[in-house]
Structure 1
Amino acid sequence: MTLITPHDIRCRLLTTRGWLHQSYDADEVDDLLDDAADSLEQVSLWALITHSRMHALQAGHQRRRRSLKRRRKTIKTINRRGRK
């Protein structure tokens, strides 16, 4: 499935019906809305996955920083004991 873009929505030509062409063909409008909803769902899922990955990376980075901080603290403690 290809994603529909805002440009595609704005440029889609719909068949008009009725006296003086006052209404659109309901099936064409339904198809357009279905395409737009499917595209929005795909983009929303992509955004959710991307956000989850970024959060996981950030959390992993924070854990590594804490671990490095503990290691540095341990090394400083060992160095102080060695000097005494």
Structure 2
Amino acid sequence: MNTICNNCKSNKIVTGVRITDLGEVNVKNDLSLEIYKNPDALFFKGTTRYKLKAKVCCSCGTVETYIDNPEELWRTYQNNKNS
């Protein structure tokens, strides 16, 4: 992962920051991307979630989001597209 800020070119980068939201009774939930598996199937439908993480520049405050497994997301998307 690139540890140089795309905005100011600083190397003061913090990676792996959790992005959360407070749910019922203040339970923390990780924000995530969700994609359907087998969206056209009658049975065995489901979703796959990918937790969002952040990379923060401590010089200019720029925040970038990312997921740890983008290739898996791409494969799931391609499988859905081709079914």
TM-score normalised per structure 2: 0.30
Larger relative contact order, structure 1 or 2 (CA cutoff 8 Å, min sep 6): 2
Larger radius of gyration: 1
- Say which structure is richer in helix: 1
